[in-house]
Amino acid sequence: MDEAAVQDIPTHDVIMIGAGPAALSAAIYTTREDIETLLFERGVIGGLAAVTDKIDNYPGFPDGVEGLNLAQDLQKQAERFGAVIELGEVTAIEDEGEFKRLETTSGTMRARAVLIATGSDYKKIGVPGELELYGRGVHYCATCDGAFYRGKTLAVIGGGNSAVQEAMFLTRFTTHIDLVVRSTIKASDVLQQDLQKFVDDGKITIHLGTITDEIVGVDNAVDKVMATKDGQKVEFKVDGVFVFVGLSPNSQFLKDTPVELDEVGLVLSNEDLQTNLPGVFVAGDIRSGATMQVASAVGEGATAALKIREYLEGRAHPVQN
């Protein structure tokens, strides 16, 4: 590519891929130091935190905090210091030495430093009917879609923290919930104690050792869940299904890039949160070794921002707007 063409490519100090708690926290730090920062978000600003009903273990909120409110406050703070958030997607990263070249839905861009903070997404159970009935009775976000099921019955699939927490949240709308658990409840002791109260009240019935086989629809809407327990076929007549079986990393766009991933697709980094590519950093749930907590994602975002500043001071001058 000739020099004139290169000069026409928009260039930024930092491009952050994702706009969840890690990236928003990093952006607060970079922009306060006059480091020009652009964030790309393909989904919801705030990431999974924004669609979590209540975050009960984030420091400074003794009564918990609604995920959406926390996400909105992080966004406002980052934007107050000058961060720019663009709805779009980064599809590739290439190393060009001093600059990193990014292919995005807004065209080709360059950055002196990049922060990968794409987080994770909800895992699917991969049974017939799950994809076909998505949005028509199959859901992955209780906060987003729970209110549609006032006075109706639901199945919640999963036995970890998120499944138990979201099942309890959904009881404010539904008449009854069948909690379908493949093996045993793996939620924390505190959540299990809270869950037992809903079981005692008859709002939730737990089905352990129950494998979901199919989600059946009638007239393009969920009608029932077919499952197997102790070798016997069982079914749950429900109006909707919420699936909470863990998370998978949003790293598909990195598969054909030089950025190194671990065996499950999380991004590898050193103690400075820098990947194998100089100038490309990682923070939050997408990082190999992350604890998958909002508080730690925020801390990693701040650390990544400080490391990015050190990197830019050694390699380049800020972009002049």
Domain boundaries, the chain: 3-121+247-315, 138-243
Domains 3-121+247-315 and 138-243 share a fold: yes
Tokens of 48: 């999974």
Classify domain 138-243 at the CATH class level: alpha beta
Q: What is the pLDDT of residue 160?
A: 94
Phi-psi category of residue 51: left, alpha or beta, with phi > 0 → left and psi -120 to 50 → alpha = alpha
Q: What is the pLDDT of residue 314?
A: 85
Q: What is the pLDDT of residue 7?
A: 65
Phi, psi dihedral angles at 86 (to 5 degrees): -120, 130
Tokens of 317: 């001058």
Q: What is the pLDDT of residue 111?
A: 97
Q: What is the pLDDT of residue 4?
A: 46
Q: What is the pLDDT of residue 8?
A: 80
138-to-49, 155, 167, 217, 220 alpha-carbon distances in Å: 20, 10, 14, 10, 11
| Assigned CATH for 3-121+247-315 | 3.50.50.60
Q: Spell out, as residue ranges, where the chain has pLDDT lower than 50.
A: 4, 316-318, 320-321
Q: What is the pLDDT of residue 321?
A: 44
181-216 per-residue burial string, b: 16 or more CB within 10 A, e: under 16: bbeebebeeebeeebeebeeeebbebbeebebbebb
Residue 195 parent element (H or E): helix 189-200
pTM: 0.76
Sign of CA dihedral 30, 31, 35, 36: positive
Q: What is the pLDDT of residue 52?
A: 80
> Which amino acid is residue 291, in one-letter code?
T
Residue 314 parent element (H or E): helix 294-315
